[in-house]
Amino acid sequence: MKNVSLTLYAFHLRQTLTDAPDRVADDAALLWDNLTNLGHFPGLTTLKSQLICYTNTEYTPQNEPGQKTYWLTHAQKDIDLGAISTADGFKITANLQPFRLNDTYAIDLTLTPDSPHLDITLPQLQHFRPQSLLPNTIQASLGQTLWLYAEVDAQTDCATLAEQCATALLANTPLNPSFQNQDSLFGSHLFHYLATQPSQPDNPAQQCHILISLNTNHSPTVELLGKGYDELLQLLCCHHKLRYIYHQSRQRYPDARHLYSQLEQQIQTLPNLTTDKQTRLDALKNLLNQIPHTALDYARCLRDLRAHHTAMETNLTNFDTKQQKLAQFGDIPQFWGKFLKESHVWKQQIQTDINYLSPGQDLFGQMLETVRGIVDLDQAERDTF
């Protein structure tokens, strides 16, 4: 394999739904901390001093300018992180491109041999230290993609080689690559693998998406990827956001269902309250104290689901737009279109959840008014005596 490059694309939320416009997420700086802690390359020790969002080593996101998409380096360009030596006599160089994409921090960390024409074998992929680029180390909240590019002979069995590469990248880890798709991008074969943590298989932050690009016919893949770089970075960001948003919605829906169940139980208790008005009044007052808190939690669940639906719509539109722009440069994988269709189904599911849960919000209000009316009546009768 020649002209080999290994790129980590990682996406981390800078700001969440509930953060004020001038605030950031509690773990917004985690991506930069984890990169610095890698320590493999000399430039990582001074990384923070080159980022706009730091004053010396103190995270100061308020230093970031007003525009929502831009370079995060003072020099407005990539960072040369230097090189590390290998036992086989060549060096691995590292280059970092840090960005802010609206509410998200994004990085492109690309590792290459110091000689592009060097023939890299499967065992030599370990010199790139891919284990340090996996989710348990990087901890990007939205997820990540590890992309290996290589030029190989025309007669190469690319499917077999791609699987071997994916396995090599995950060697000495508990992760196993699962084949997802095969297609082409800008003239090169493209293979998609997914590796998940057994304990959290559905958590996007713990998933590692692996893309293997194998160029067998000297296609201008690298040149075209450069021309469409902005669109590709945004497309990958949307891809991870869509998975993240749907995963978040799957957590909020059962929360709302649990609260709805509590309301149903409270409604069923009303007819069974004791006829002793003294005891009943105390029970109703206790219920009156509980309902507003439950109703507020329920309203927050619905608010989050509606926000997730809106975010899905936005990212679906952006993903489709970036996909169409990339198609202007050359062939793109069909599985991007399949993912877009799947994401539309996710959006419809969220809307179904909202439709199902929305009547419960009115029911909370009606329950509150009913209990309050009974309390007022019983209290008035007690005060009369």
Give the tens place of pLDDT for each residue, 175-233: 999 999 999 999 999 999 999 988 888 899 999 999 999 999 999 999 999 999 999 99
Residue 189 lies in a domain: yes
Q: Are residues 288 and 351 in the same domain?
A: yes
User: Would you say residue 37 lies in a domain?
Assistant: yes
Q: Evaluate whether 98 touches 12 at the Cβ level (below 8 Å).
A: no
**Number of independent structural domains in the chain:** 2
Q: How many CB atoms lie within 10 A of CB 61?
A: 18
Residues 379 and 325 in one domain: yes
- If asked whether residues 218 and 312 sit together in one domain, one would say no
Within this chain, do residues 125 and 256 fall inside the same structural domain, yes or no? no
Assess whether 164 and 262 both reside in one domain. no
Q: Residue 79 in contact with residue 43, Cβ under 8 Å? A: yes
Residue 228 belongs to some domain of the structure: no
**257 and 175 together in one domain:** no
Cα angle for residues 346, 190, 10 (degrees, 5° grid): 60
The answer on 97 and 35 residing in a single domain is yes
Q: For residue 82, how many other CB atoms are within 10 A of its CB?
A: 16
CA 54 to chain CA centroid, Å, is: 23
Element (H, E) at 35: helix 30-38
Residue 48 is part of which domain span? 2-223
Based on the fold, state whether residues 102 and 135 are members of the same structural domain: yes
Amino acid at position 44, single letter:
L
On whether residue 358 sits in a domain, the answer given is: yes
pLDDT score for 374: 65
The string of pLDDT tens digits covering residues 346-385 is 999 999 999 988 887 666 666 666 666 666 656 666 666 5
Return the SS3 of 113. strand
What digits encode the pLDDT tens for the residues 222-269?
A: 999 999 999 999 999 999 999 999 999 999 999 998 888 877 777 667
What's the chain's Rg over C-alpha atoms? 27
Q: Minimal CA–CA distance to 170: which of 138, 139, 129?
A: 129
What are the φ/ψ torsions at residue 108 (nearest 5 degrees)?
Answer: -125, 105
Question: Which segment of 45-54, 121-130, 283-292, 301-310 scores lowest on mean pLDDT?
Answer: 283-292
The three-state secondary structure class of 98 is strand
213 φ, ψ to 5°? -105, 120
